[in-house]
């Protein structure tokens, strides 16, 4: 069971996302285009923020090269761990911090820090059989509204320490 957070900090429960339901935004869709993309930046009063995709729990289909490349681009942008299963059956779970896309899948690599290692690992796109957004999205559920809600709750409860602290490192 995966707990999902939306940008307002509310939660819902879902089993596993396919990526195509529950508010998922395709990167190629007009919704994914930043709202100020066609505006003169010098005229902007407030810079529109980013609406986040909810990717936690997503297991993308990797039937075509384009799907694989698109999914790895999202994995690079994702602030949680992902699981990569290689075609030889081995699996690596960790944080994707880099991707280097080239003309062929063989020459393209994704680089990650495995969860339990200090050694960076590079995996060729051509080796990848499956991908899952298995780790918690650490950027989700921390909207301004969520922070305001927590603040108001603490204040209403008469707490003296009206502060938000970083999450403990599990």
Q: Nearest 5 degrees, angle CA 95-CA 99-CA 17? A: 55
Q: What are phi and psi of 16, to 5 degrees?
A: -130, 135
User: Binding marks (x or -) toward other proteins, 139..168, rule CB under 8 A?
Assistant: x--xxx-xxx--xx--x-----xxxxxxx-
Q: Please check whether residue 16 is in contact with residue 133, taking contact to mean a CB–CB distance below 8 angstroms.
A: no
Report DSSP state, residue 20: S
Q: Which of 24, 69, 79, 86 binds other proteins (CB under 8 A)?
A: 79
Residues facing residue 128 across a β-bridge: 86
* Nearest distance in Å: CB 90, other proteins: 19
User: Binding marks (x or -) toward other proteins, 84..113, rule CB under 8 A?
Assistant: ----------xx-xxxx----------x-x
* Nearest distance in Å: CB 109, other proteins: 11
User: Binding marks (x or -) toward other proteins, 39..58, rule CB under 8 A?
Assistant: x-xxxxxxxxxxxx------
| SS3 call for 84 | strand
Instruction: Answer yes or no whether residue 29 interacts with other proteins by CB under 8 A.
Output: no
The token duo for 147 is 């922070």
Q: Could you tell me whether strands 11-14 and 2-5 are parallel, antiparallel, or unpaired per DSSP bridges?
A: antiparallel
Distance of CA 148 to the CA centre of its chain: 23
Q: Which residues bind other proteins (CB under 8 A)?
A: 7, 33-34, 36-37, 39, 41-52, 76, 79-81, 94-95, 97-100, 111, 113, 115-116, 118, 135-136, 138-139, 142-144, 146-148, 151-152, 155, 161-167, 169-170
């Amino acid at each position: 069971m995966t707990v999902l957070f939306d940008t307002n900090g509310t939660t819902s429960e879902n089993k596993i996302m396919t990526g195509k339901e529950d508010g998922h935004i395709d990167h190629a869709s007009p919704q994914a285009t930043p709202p100020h993309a066609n505006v003169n930046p010098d005229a902007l009063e407030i810079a529109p923020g980013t609406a986040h995709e909810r990717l936690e729990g997503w297991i993308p289909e990797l039937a075509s090269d384009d799907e694989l490349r698109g999914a790895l681009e999202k994995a690079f942008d994702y602030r949680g761990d992902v699981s990569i299963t290689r075609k030889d059956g081995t699996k690596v779970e960790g944080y994707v911090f880099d991707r280097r896309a080239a003309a062929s899948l063989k020459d393209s690599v994704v680089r990650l820090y495995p969860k339990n290692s200090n050694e960076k690992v590079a995996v060729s796109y051509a080796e990848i059989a499956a991908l899952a957004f298995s780790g918690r999205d650490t950027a989700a559920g921390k909207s301004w509204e969520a922070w305001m809600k927590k603040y108001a709750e603490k204040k209403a409860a008469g707490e003296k320490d009206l502060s938000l602290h970083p999450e403990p490192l599990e």
